[in-house]
Structure 1
Amino acid sequence: MSNTVLDVKENSFVQHIADNADHDTCTFDGKGTFHAMAIIAAVTPGSKKTKCCVPRREVKDEAIRAAGKIPIIPHTIDESVLGKISYQHLNWERFQDNEKYFDQLWLVSWFLKQPRPGWHGSMQNAMMARNHPGKAEIVFLPIIDMPASNDTTINSTLKLIVCQAKKYGLTPKVTFDQQLWWKAMQIIENASLQCLYREMICKLGGVHTMGSFLACIGHLMDGSGLHELIDLIYAANTTPHILRGKAISRAIRAHIIVEYALHIVLHEEQLSNDSEKG
């Protein structure tokens, strides 16, 4: 059982992840479900561990409770804060994305080499020469024995992460799923300007971010023929879920295939026009 101490070095990057953990203690009737907030910390690069045998031992409840404890800080979200939340304008000129043209380069290679690696293989070839930061270490922090969606549970989680970041001189960073992220953002926005919560980077989980992005594409492209095009790839009953960002893996594959087809048409038309001019 891990406590709340992290093995953080000078060049370490620490990312906390918190999510609900539900366990059915009575599997036959489904009653008595245990709801809690589970928290882990990903430390990159992690400390090197030596292999050793884990002894079998009987652990008492007192030893588990003494291993680590998270203070519970009561909190009630002020719903009126929703009208105060504003999104800052992103200054794209300050952001240099050196990999933004990799997709275009891979799509153009369709005409240059056959067979060629798929998208994942191309990205691996492009990135494999870079220095790897090292294998991350996953540290399991104590579980909060309260429903994860409870305001007090989320507030106690934020407090733990902020205190750990302050202890190690790091910027607090945490990832939630969509429901918990929205409540956490309300708590952070409702905090005073001097509160350490204001320094926190609260991120939406990757799957939920991707789902929201895919749902935006489905909404914006409604009536464009994208629905009928995806019907040629998947069953018609699956397409609405794809366009709403629900079936993530199928949606990604469907959009990549559609992108293939569009770029083939565009490139063939461009090559045809160039040959006519020549």
Structure 2
Amino acid sequence: MASICGEDNSYSTTYMKRRMLEHYGNSIIITELNGKSNVVTFRSRAHAILHNYYHRQNKNDSESEKLAIIKTAGKLILNDIKDMEENAEIYPSANDMSTEGNRKYVPPSLVTLLQQLIDQKDPERIIIAISQAIVQAAIPRSIICPLQLGLGVQLHHQFGSRILIETLNSLGFCSSYQEVQKYEKCAAYTQGNAVDRNNVEQYVQFVADNIDHNTATIDGHNTFHGMGIIATFTPKDNKRRVVPRIQVTNEELVKIGKINIKYYKQNDNVLENVKFEKLLDIDCEDPIPGNFEFLVKITRPLRPMTPSWSGIMQTVQKGEHPGESKVHFLPMIDMNPSDMSCIYSTLTYVAQQARLMNIDPVITFDQPLFWKAMTIITNKPDSSELKRAVIRLGAFHMEMSFLGCIGKIMENSGLSELLSTVYAPNTVCHMLSGKAVQRAIRGHFLASDALDQLIMEKTFPELMETQYTDENNNHAETGRSNDEVYSPEQRKLVTIFESVLEQKIDQRLLVTEDNVNLKEMVDKVESTKHTLKSSRTAKLWLQYLEMINLLKQFIAAERIGNWRCHLKSLKNMFPFFAAAGHNLYTKSSYMYLQQMNCLHITHPEVCQAFEKGLHVVRRSNRMWGGLSTDLVIEQVLMRSV
């Protein structure tokens, strides 16, 4: 019409569709997709299939009847597949991997057919997977199914094997190798290297650490050793980028995934003249009230099925928190992370991203990188934008150093032999050095529980007459339940403890409950400890208990996001850093704490955010879920490579 009458005199697309609907009514379907031409189809296609079925020959032949039904069902399902609203110009999102998201990629008729064929307890995932494989094979150029693409991307990430992906693709189970590579390029290009904050309520901070990836595991050569950077957003948002299916060249990827290298030249070191100032006392509410900690220790022997310390804290620690966080990967720097130019380039890049979001740059390093970053910033003139940066010392690495202090101070005390009864001797070496963090914490908590029980038995000999129970919580000898073998005093303590776990009693208000004065009992235990200090051996193990309690306070401060308690715990660690000869952490943590104490003056907005618990990152939406920022980069970025 346009070629005959001209653009000005022909019908517009909107007018043409309206006139066709007026004329044909429900006899046609007009499919509309952005960026694609409209498609007009007659509904009579399905009617024609059914008409051919009823006018077939050999109606009385049962075998022919069965084959005709199957063929007709196949044509109807194929017709439904072709009538789907597909768009091969945009890749599926991560939300499409959910059950509801996957369902929109398969017609209900195909799902109904497979439900008749697959009879299992929970066949939903299998049915959706087979359905998407059929749809992808039926219209390969018109649709990209999320499970097909997702499996290909996962296999490529895990194994990097082209032959594996191509083999599964030939069997119809995943996308082709070329499609997977194209998706990864499009996703990287779409994300770019900029940090976007969707709303001003989100708090953003950065983390950088050295990252290693051995690209040739057989001979160990060509190992990548560079600087990895992430940005964390709290709270997270559910907005996801749409990945368009476009052509992306390697040159375009290099351009958007590049951090400009800034070469650093140091003339003088002003940091050498910085003096350590006297640290002020830090007042804060203890995240673990002393009465509740005592209640946990005294009831653990009476209640053998008690959860671990972390499980108890997760149960009782309730309240408001900033919410779950989102982690954003940033480009890596292919340089030695310890190189001053690499650290300088990292700081400059982070400062640029922070300036675009109009926030103060906050970045976390481990101890060696922290000290070099402090050297760079201190030597910069006051006009430099790097002076706005807040450099944090990674709390997870401080925790590792403190675990190493415990192992060093308790060397040759018998602790190694004690832990060897539970862990392998070679593992104990790594636990006491602070490298095997999870095992070390678990082992120290077991040892401290045993020591606390000995102190409780010495302080309250009659009360601590334990009646050990079996796995069914029944008395081992008589078979009676614990309620029948508890003494009245024991039952009161266990009842109070269970009431706290059930949120009936606030752990912070535990003083006198059910005629049990916990404060007096705590004072008796402290008196027993004071008496035991006359023995040098007992004094050493009491100091060990003090270190474990300090470790618990530090972990609790991170898990619940208590900023002031984080600083107070760190200050109390200084004597142990010095005693164990961890001089680098003694120096760096002192400088870090000295700066953080002045944060309310130098960076008031950052200080307010930290006071709200935003100095930690939560990967789960719960109160007892805060993680140190340097631990997050280990769990997310390092694990991913």
Q: List alignment gaps of at least 5 residues for structure 1.
A: none
Identical positions, percent: 38
1:215 matched to 2:404? The reply is yes
Q: In structure 2, how many angstroms separate the alpha carbons of the residues matched to 1:78 and 1:224? A: 48
1:4–1:142 contact (8 Å) kept in structure 2:
no
1:169-184 to structure 2, matched below 5 A, reads 169-184=358-373
Given the superposition, is the C-alpha separation of residues 104 and 192 from structure 1 closer, same or farther in structure 2, using an over 3 Å criterion?
farther
1:244 to 433, 436, 456: 433
1:115 matched to 2:318? The reply is no
Given the superposition, is the C-alpha separation of residues 61 and 121 from structure 1 closer, same or farther in structure 2, using an over 3 Å criterion?
same
User: TM-score when scaled to structure 2?
Assistant: 0.38
Given the superposition, is the C-alpha separation of residues 274 and 126 from structure 1 closer, same or farther in structure 2, using an over 3 Å criterion?
closer
The structure with the greater share of residues assigned to strand is 1
Given the superposition, is the C-alpha separation of residues 58 and 190 from structure 1 closer, same or farther in structure 2, using an over 3 Å criterion?
same
Q: In structure 1, how many angstroms separate the alpha carbons of the residues matched to 2:197 and 2:264? A: 30
TM-superposed deviation, 1:272 = 2.7
1:42-53 to structure 2, matched below 5 A, reads 42-50=232-240
Q: List alignment gaps of at least 5 residues for structure 2.
A: 1-187, 465-641
1:201-212 to structure 2, matched below 5 A, reads 201-212=390-401
Q: Which residue of 2 is the match for residue 130 of structure 1?
A: 319
1:70 matched to 2:263? The reply is no
2:271–2:379 contact (8 Å) kept in structure 1:
no
1:252-267 to structure 2, matched below 5 A, reads 252-267=441-456
Q: Which residue of 2 is the match for residue 14 of structure 1?
A: 204
TM-superposed deviation, 1:160 = 1.9
Which amino acid is the alignment partner of residue 238 of structure 2? K
Residue deviations 1:182-208 (CA, integer Å, cap 9, x gap): 322332333345544444332333442
Which amino acid is the alignment partner of residue 378 of structure 2? E
2:202–2:234 contact (8 Å) kept in structure 1:
yes
Q: Which has the higher contact order (CA 8 A, sep 6+)?
A: 1
Q: In structure 1, how many angstroms separate the alpha carbons of the residues matched to 2:193 and 2:377? A: 25
Residue deviations 1:75-117 (CA, integer Å, cap 9, x gap): 1457956644555544333444434646444324415644222
Give the aligned length.
273
Q: In structure 2, how many angstroms separate the alpha carbons of the residues matched to 1:253 and 1:78? A: 48
Please state whether the residue corresponding to 1:241 is helix, strand or coil.
helix
TM-superposed deviation, 1:42 = 0.6
1:227 matched to 2:416? The reply is yes
Which amino acid is the alignment partner of residue 297 of structure 2? L
1:26–1:33 contact (8 Å) kept in structure 2:
yes
Q: In structure 2, how many angstroms separate the alpha carbons of the residues matched to 1:239 and 1:227? A: 7
Q: In structure 2, how many angstroms separate the alpha carbons of the residues matched to 1:34 and 1:118? A: 40
Given the superposition, is the C-alpha separation of residues 112 and 231 from structure 1 closer, same or farther in structure 2, using an over 3 Å criterion?
closer
Which amino acid is the alignment partner of residue 424 of structure 2? A
2:269–2:379 contact (8 Å) kept in structure 1:
no
Q: In structure 1, how many angstroms separate the alpha carbons of the residues matched to 2:419 and 2:288? A: 28
Given the superposition, is the C-alpha separation of residues 17 and 268 from structure 1 closer, same or farther in structure 2, using an over 3 Å criterion?
same
Q: Which residue of 2 is the match for residue 4 of structure 1?
A: 194
Q: In structure 2, how many angstroms separate the alpha carbons of the residues matched to 1:104 and 1:190? A: 49
2:197–2:357 contact (8 Å) kept in structure 1:
no
User: TM-score when scaled to structure 1?
Assistant: 0.81
Q: Which residue of 2 is the match for residue 40 of structure 1?
A: 230
2:262–2:341 contact (8 Å) kept in structure 1:
yes
The structure with the greater share of residues assigned to helix is 2
Q: Once superposed, what is the RMSD of the aligned Cα atoms?
A: 3.2
TM-superposed deviation, 1:220 = 2.4
1:165 to 348, 354, 370: 354
1:31 to 218, 221, 226: 221
Q: In structure 1, how many angstroms separate the alpha carbons of the residues matched to 2:204 and 2:294? A: 33
TM-superposed deviation, 1:136 = 1.5
- Which deviates the most, 86-95 or 201-210? 86-95
1:75-94 to structure 2, matched below 5 A, reads 75-76=264-265, 83-84=272-273, 86-94=275-283
Which structure is larger by alpha-carbon Rg, 1 or 2? 2
- Which deviates the most, 104-113 or 153-162? 104-113
- Which deviates the most, 246-255 or 65-74? 65-74
Please state whether the residue corresponding to 1:216 is helix, strand or coil.
helix
